[in-house]
Structure 1
Amino acid sequence: MVLQTKLNVLVRQFLIGSFSALILIGCGQKKGGYIAQDEGESVVAIPDSVDFSLHIKPILSDRCFACHGPDKNAIEGGLSLHKAEDAYAAIGENKDRYAIVPGDLNKSELVNRILSEDPNLVMPPLESNLTLSTSEKELLKKWIEQGAVYKKHWAFVPPESPSIPNIDNDSWSQNEIDKFVLQKLGDQGFTPSEQASKEQLIRRAFFSIVGLPPSAEQVTDFVNNTTPNAYEQVIDSLLGTSDYAEYMAADWMDVARYADTHGYQDDFERIMWPWRDWVIHAFNKNMPYDEFVTYQLAGDMLPNASKESILATGFNRNHKITAEGGVIPEEYRIEYVEDRTNTFGTAFLGLTLECSRCHDHKYDPVSQEEHFQLFSFFNNVDEDGLMANAQVIPKPYINISKEEANGVLDFVNMTNTTKDVKVMVMQDMSKPRDAFVLNRGAYDQLGDQVHADTPEAIMPFPEDLPKNRLGLAKWLFHDDNPLTARVSVNRIWQRMFGKGLVESSYDFGNQGALPSHPKLLDYLAIKYRTEGWDMKKMIKYMAMSATFQQSSAISDEMREKDPENTYLARATRLRLGAEMIRDQALKLSGLLNPEIGGPSVKPYQPDGIWEETTGGGGGSTARYIQSEGKDLYRKSLYTFWKRTVPPPSMMTFDAASRDLCTVKRQETNTPLQALVLLNDPQLIEAARAMASKALVEDSLQGQIGYIFQNATSRRPDTAEMDVLQKFYEDALAKIESGEIIPEEYLAIGEYEPEISVSQETLTALSLTAQTIFNLDETITRG
């Protein structure tokens, strides 16, 4: 601990004094998509033609729908503003007034109330702490003047293929994506950025597609490759790797709320990793998205269902399960069904269905009855609400034998297991369980009986489909479903560009953001669907666009006019994700164990965390037993995930907790992140291994250059080299003075280098490597 304190001071002094650019990049979530709020006396320009979806719906949703929206039980004053017939209807005791009279401001009570200075009459009411800006009031007035035309929410209207913009003198575009982006840039008076350097481009491609950095040799080969399709060759090669499949699977673990424990008090261990192996397998063979989802929703219901398709339904059993004594089993069984229902809404529809559990949705046209109709699709599993003990495998489950892992399920890695494994899956009862509206969402407050169905506002359930999970999957991928393709392709865009065309990728409803490029989103959604839901093809299409290949450099003008890069006039600088930071260090150092699949492993983490939080029930999760040997260096995808105590370093870098379905992680910037980079034994050990590799170079400059180039994908310039050499010399001086003790520093971690060099030299070079690992440029995608 004393050594690490000294080390921290040394590194921080260097970073602060010489590398002011060591900043962890993060950005808070910001809701966008409609006319900005006024600041001070500024007024936003009012468009000539006011559009309900673009300009009015967001205002009503934010300021009015809580009391005048879809929830019929929350309506105040008998006024609902979410659809035209209600908004135009007579109100008041005598039905002699109207909130909105199309074309007539004087008779529209809404106008009088938003302009009123009477605190008892003004809308929104003062106690709501909501206000309307001058511009928003003018928008509402102009909309009424122009006829107060209502439109269905954009996301509930099936996408139609837009015409591709015809841009004069367009020498920039590489595919149709660029034409849509270029048209939008032109509307704003912006121009795209120049192409990123080849070093930046290959780095961005690697991190975006496989989550790992390119080697120095791969960068050099690409830079020296002058053939016209050199970049496309890189993209194709990356999409063909198992690294791609694992990186895609890591993202899907958040969506599927995967964990290695059941959650709740004692948080006993569960075996679900064979399902994770299936996900990797599905991405490896580029399973079409519609098939990928159908297997997970209803693989057990497919004609001639295979062991593989049944295993895939583990997706729906990844929720928490309690073993806590004294609970009411039926109450928790209902929670499991709710989890499956809400996961379906978030993952595939981009809707907050949980908001309609206790009452009609206050913002979106999903009633409480429709919520429980959808709930009934997932209500027929013969499961228990309470686990008896840690040894129980919650039913239903399947058994996977060693023989099957060597045959029909050869993608399941059972090399480190000595016996068969049991995995929770879906299996419906022969007779469907009755479902009811639950008053206030309470398990024991049964209301009207309901039957399986889907929300009318999204798409009525076709009569020719079975009312079960397989029928629901077919409904999801029906050509008339307005959400599935948009939601899915938006998340692919989010993966490639840092945020979706709809920034609120978790919410396509009335409270969500409007698409920054609505025509482009619809074009991509239709392309994705009509070309067979091919995920690799869509990723390549985005990667090949000029939009993706832009430089991330930003001018002062663009920082002021478009700080969030909404219009895509440049590439966005993105900090690496939690798993990528650790995996990058392992890859650079040569420590990374490339084994695919199998049981989860336990790399370094602070001592005692599990013991301090255990529920007292014993079992394998009562205390943390660190893995040994090569298991310490598996990809972060395979790190054991205890729900009540997730891996602390990854949580510091905004990994999802896996309690619930997550399709977009938080993006924070905290001092704890810097402390992880400075203190995590995995990173210190990786720096030592990296330094050991660099010693093949004859000179100090060569060694530092080797480390720097591998970490940042470029050579250091003269000034950077001078600073790093000075740091190395300072480190040697502190070693000589006893401020840093090589034996203690080199003892951190299990790796022992096989080199003949003094401890002093290795320590100084390792500290230099650790500093380079801490650079903003190293932990940024480019």
Structure 2
Amino acid sequence: MAAELNIYAVSKPNEEAKLIGPDAYLQLVVTGASISDITRSVSYEADPSSIVNVSKTGHVTPLSDGSVKVIAKTSEGLSTSIELTVEQFGTPQPINFPNEIVPLFTKHGCNGGGCHGKSEGQNGFKLSLLGFEPTEDFEYLVKEGRGRRLFPAAPQHSLLLRKGSGDLPHGGGARFDHDSWDYKAIVRWMEQGMPYGSPDDPKLESISVYPSSRIVEPGAEQQLAVSAFYTDGSVRDVTGIVSYESNQKEMGEVNQSGLVNMLRDQTGDMAVMIRYQEHVSVFQATIPLGVPTENFPVAKNFIDEKVFNKLKTLGLPSSEICDDTTFLRRTAIDIAGRLPSLQEVEDFLSNDHPEKRSQWIDSLLSTTDYAEYFSNKWAAILRNKRKGNTYTRGTQAFHEWLMGSLHANKPYNQLITELVTARGEIGHNPASAWFRNVTDQKERLQDTAQVLLGVRLQCAECHHHPYEKWSQQDYYGFSAFFSRVGKKKTDVPGEEAVFHNVGLATAKNPKSGENVKPKPLGGDELNIKPEDDPRLDLAAWMTSESNPFFAKMLVNRYWKHFFNRAIVEPEDDMRVTNPPTNPDLLDSLAGHFIKSGYDLKDLIRTICNSTTYQLSAIPNDHNAGDRQNYSRYFPKRLTAEVLLDSIDGITGSSTAFSGQLPGTRAVSLPDDSYNSSSYFLTVFGRPEMDSACECERAQGASLAQTLHLLNSKNIQDKLAGAGGSADKLSSQGERINEEKIVELYKRAFSRGPKEDEMKTAIDYINKKTQQAKEAQGKINEANKMAYEDLVWALLNTKEFLFNH
């Protein structure tokens, strides 16, 4: 029966778990036969009972030296056991300040950015942010403040402990009690003379959490145990002194003891970040719904296999496949940034070919509409911002370079190599405009890491990254790749040429004073000759098939474009503490993208041909709240540019943009300068291109947007304009109203009107015509106004404003 249960304790591989010294502890984790945590529901027995004490929560503390068997028993009579050893019980172990004291400040929030860890400290007491500079913390704590904070002769009277325990008023409240391990550890440290530690003391190399992942029922709990691995080969249980943070508090919470509690009525994925010194680890929990999932739609490619496997694990049924009208409109907006034309709607709906959806996707990808729409997306991400009239040629040329590259389906690795290594003047090499838009070395390294690799390095400029492994050394090593970029004036006023400034590539770490050589993230420093451009080495590393960031970042970004949620969200924050909701899907997409030769059109084709993308937005009885697992399509509001173009289309009008040819679509605008002259683009959230983050684009709803659509002069002029839709339809006396209404619905929604919609529209037009007759008014004018009202009503519906 023992084989049906499992008991775990932190230990070296293939060795018994040990407790060394009187203050050591171990956290047991007991797993039941159904792979569920039963740590707190079993009873414990130690044999012999004189060696260790085991609490009801599985917390083990030593009583004397020796070997002991700890037995865990369930109420049903099942049992399992583990052998433990206690050594040096009579010898208190020396305390190391960085390893054991500083982590307590992090655990209790003392050195957070809102408390003593902020740059100026709090109430005269400062700590380094999250303990990343323990030598500074030692200085602040032991040597500053004239010794008032610590009283080694009577540690319990120290200001640090009296405030931390709540004995004295403290803005942060009581952080620990007198009986806690944390309080006693600080007392022991002071009793030992407040040592910093010896240079020979082992250094932390890494941490890991057990279990690393688990399927957990709603309302259940999971105890974690955290191992710390040191340079001398030792392993220690640090479960009680690390800090924990849930990334989805609405799904699960975690306490300071590493106990994760799943909330009821929630399904999906959540993660717990564990931080200890400069290292992080992650526990991932999948919370299933448990509904039968036998009847999934047919899988068309590997995307569906990965998504449906996850949905089956969750017990979360998917929605049905969407109908043709929804698919047609959805793909036209998502791929080409426009509504289907009336002719396209009629041709597609009358087409009986079994592969017509794939054919339609291919036709969209072959158009300049696709290239214009996606160059609009990339122009914003790459900050193609106009700064005065002298920048006009540059922003236009950069946009055209993007558009031409996308239309020709230039491989993504080639496109990015051309961007990052660009030299010369804009007239000969438009990609070089990026170095004008992203003006200095700091912006270039941060934008490159975030946009192209999904790594937000900004925090590491001043201190170790709080949620990642990146240090200041990593930051300045990456910065060094751009240290030899030079710019010089050209014959064109306001423009500059980019060149390689011959010299040794380094970046100075201001904290250490060291000149750091170019260093890929996670790699070693490179020795690059002064005459060689380090950007070539950067591009080669980034676009290598073995690069762990490059392909994943791109497929994650494009996945969000089509599904309104990335596999890793936010899409450009792909850190270990922000795990993907479907790792197999992300890995498979990245592998497929690399194997395709970094083919962007192939990636879009693969996504849009999947059953997953073609699922209906209409939820079933179980997936209405699913935002993580793609069990249905999630509607999204049309972007500012697409919405303006769509309104122009349905009203039969055209928006004029200064310096652009008549008929230019809003999605074709090259830079940010048109926002200031278009209230519509501003109020509907077109980005100013100040940031490399797509979050700069505002996609939320607002009162100003509603009022603009309802009664702005801009919209009214489009509705009433001569030659517009209402004007043309009302003047076509040879066509019946029913036919005209069908046309409007197909242009707006890619479908004909429902029976009640047709009746409402006909009744309204007839009513307006009859009122004009009775008032002996102008019937033609009344008919035109009726069509204006009808078009106005259509463009104010959620069906029009959203992509479904």
TM-score, with length taken from structure 1: 0.64
Q: How far 1:706 moved relative to its partner? A: 1.6
Question: Residue 556 of structure 2 corresponds to which residue in structure 1?
Answer: 490
| Partner SS state of residue 631, structure 1 | coil
2:454 counterpart of 1:338: no
Amino acid at match of 2:519: T
Matched to 1:376, the amino acid is: A
1:672 to 694, 704, 711: 704
Q: Are 2:605 and 1:540 equivalent residues in the alignment?
A: yes
Partner of 2:502: 430
Matched residue of 1:778: which SS?
helix
1:481/1:48 CA distance change after superposition, 3 Å: farther
Aligned-partner Cα distance in 2 for 1:646–1:438: 43
Return the offset for 1:728: 4.3
1:125-184 deviation per Cα after TM superposition (whole angstroms, max 9, x unaligned)? 9xxxx99998513882589xxxx99999799xxxxxxxxxxx999761001110111111
CA contact (8 A) 1:656 1:662 kept: no
Closer/same/farther in 2, CA of residues 247 and 149 from structure 1, 3 Å limit: closer
The counterpart of 1:71, out of the listed 126, 132, 138, is: 132
1:272 matched to 2:395: yes
Structure 1 residue 634 displacement after superposition: 3.6
Q: Which residue of 1 aligns with 2:632?
A: 570
**In 2 relative to 1, CA 74–343 (structure 1 residues): closer, same or farther, beyond 3 Å?**
farther
Relative to 1, partners in 2 of residues 1:73 and 1:533: Cα closer, same or farther, differing over 3 Å?
farther
Alignment of 1:429-448 (within 5 A): 429-431=501-503, 435-438=507-510, 448=513
Q: How many residues align?
A: 581
Q: Which runs of 5+ in 1 are unaligned?
A: 1-44, 51-59, 79-86, 115-122, 156-166, 321-335, 384-394, 400-420, 440-446, 594-601, 604-625, 743-756
CA positional deviation for 1:576: 0.9
Change beyond 3 A, Cα 1:355–1:553: same
1:310 pairs with 429, 436, 444, which one?
A: 429
Confirm whether residue 229 of structure 1 aligns to residue 348 of structure 2.
no
AA aligned to 1:698 is R
Contact 1:575 1:780 in 2 (8 A): yes
CA distance in 2, matches of 1:212, 1:105: 52
Q: Tell me which amino acid in the other structure corresponds to 1:460.
A: D
| Amino acid in structure 1 at the alignment position of 2:704 | L
Structure 2 residue 461 is matched with structure 1 residue 357 = yes
The reply on whether 1:372 has 2:447 as its aligned counterpart is no
SS in 2 for 1:212: coil
Which structure's CA Rg is the greater one?
Answer: 2
Residue type at the aligned position of 1:371: Y
**Alpha-carbon distance in structure 2 between the residues aligned to 1:450 and 1:669:** 48
C-alpha distance 359-135 of structure 1, shift in aligned 2 (>3 A): closer
CA distance in 2, matches of 1:461, 1:736: 85
- Measure the CA separation in 1 of the matches of 2:788 and 2:252: 59
* Mapped pair 1:758 → 2:790: no
Q: Provide closer, same or farther for how the CA distance between residues 102 and 238 of structure 1 changes in structure 2, counting only shifts above 3 A.
A: closer
Equivalent residue runs for 1:219-298 within 5 Å: 219-261=345-387, 271-298=394-421
Aligned positions of 1:96-495 closer than 5 A: 135-137=253-255, 140=258, 172-261=298-387, 271-300=394-423, 310-319=429-438, 336-383=440-487, 395-396=488-489, 424-431=496-503, 435-438=507-510, 448-456=513-521, 458-460=522-524, 468-495=534-561
1:328 is matched with none
| Deviates further, 724-733 or 207-216 | 724-733
Q: CA deviation at 1:219?
A: 1.8
The change in CA–CA distance for 1:734 and 1:448 in structure 2 (over 3 A counts) is farther
TM-superposed deviation, 1:225? 1.3
Instruction: Quote the offset at 1:774 in angstroms.
Output: 1.4
Matches of 1:736 and 1:341, distance apart in 2: 70
SS, match of residue 382 in structure 1: strand
Q: Deviations over 1:721-772 (max 9, x none)?
A: 233345546766998999xx99xxxxxxxxxxxxxx9333323312221221
Helix, strand or coil at the partner of 1:758: helix
* Deviation at residue 239 of structure 1 after TM alignment: 0.5
Give the corresponding residue for 1:652.
683
Task: State how far apart, in whole Å, the 1-side matches of 2:702 and 2:208 are.
Answer: 51
Q: Does 1:499 align with 2:565?
A: yes
For 1:237 and 1:762, locate their aligned partners in 2 and report how far apart those are by CA, in whole Å. 36
2:226 and 2:576 map into 1 onto residues whose CA distance is 28
> Which range moved further: 768-777 or 359-368?
359-368
- Pick from 714, 727, 739: which aligns with 1:702? 739
* 1:526 CA drift (Å): 1.2
Give 1:754's aligned residue: none
SS in 2 for 1:427: strand
Distance 2:107 2:570 in 1: 15
Distance 1:252 1:650 in 2: 17
In structure 2, how many angstroms separate the alpha carbons of the residues matched to 1:171 and 1:564?
18
Please tell me whether residue 555 in structure 1 is matched to residue 620 in structure 2. yes
Partner of 2:584: 519
Sequence identity (%): 22
Larger % of helix: which?
1
- Structure 2: gaps of 5 or more residues: 1-33, 40-105, 118-128, 140-181, 211-223, 228-235, 262-273, 283-292
Give the aligned residue type for 2:406.
F
Native 8 Å contact 1:69 1:75 kept in 2:
no
3-state secondary structure, aligned to 1:299: coil
1:214 and 1:713 in contact (8 A); partners too: yes
Report the CA distance between 1:255 and its aligned residue: 0.8
Contact kept in structure 2, 1:643 and 1:657, CA below 8 Å: no
Contact 1:271 1:422 (8 Å CA) reproduced? no
Counterpart of 1:687? 719
Aligned partner (choices 753, 761, 771) of residue 724 of structure 1: 761
Q: What amino acid sits opposite 1:777 in the alignment?
A: E
Partners of 1:666 and 1:63 in 2: CA distance: 33
Alpha carbons of structure 1 residues 237 and 540: separation in structure 2 relative to 1, 3 Å = same
Confirm or deny: 8 A CA contact 2:450 2:572 kept in the other structure.
yes
Greater length-normalized contact order (CA 8 Å, ≥ 6 residues apart) = 1
Give the Cα–Cα distance (whole angstroms) in 2 for the partners of residues 102 and 433 of structure 1: 39
* Shift in alpha-carbon separation, 1:309–1:111, aligned structure 2, 3 A: same
Counterpart of 2:87 in structure 1 is none
Residues 423 and 589 from structure 1, CA distance in 2 versus in 1: closer, same or farther, beyond 3 angstroms? farther
Q: What is the Cα deviation at residue 232 of structure 1?
A: 1.0
**Structure 2 counterpart of 1:599:** none
Determine the C-alpha separation between the residues in 2 that align with 1:131 and 1:569: 22
Q: Distance in 2 between matches of 1:473 and 1:690?
A: 51
Q: Which letter maps to 1:348?
A: L
Spell out, residue by residue over 1:627-678, the C-alpha distance to the aligned partner (whole angstroms, 9 max, x if none): 69x5365434327623994843223223222112123444312111212323
Q: What is the DSSP-based 3-state SS (H/G/I as helix, E as strand, rest coil) of the residue aligned with 2:509?
A: strand
User: 1:574 Cα deviation (Å)?
Assistant: 1.5
8 Å Cα contact 1:694/1:707 also seen in 2? no
8 Å CA contact 2:244–2:256 kept in 1: the answer is: no
Give RMSD over aligned pairs: 4.6
Q: How many Å apart are 1:682 and its aligned residue?
A: 5.1
More displaced stretch, 466-475 vs 514-523: 466-475
Deviation at 1:77, TM superposition (A): 8.0
Letter in 2 for 1:577: T
Matched residue type, 1:631: P
Distance 2:452 2:38 in 1: 34
Structure 1 residues 350 and 397, CA, compared in 2 at 3 Å: closer, same or farther? Answer: farther
TM-score normalised by structure 2 residue count: 0.63
The Cα of 1:236 is off from its aligned counterpart by 0.7
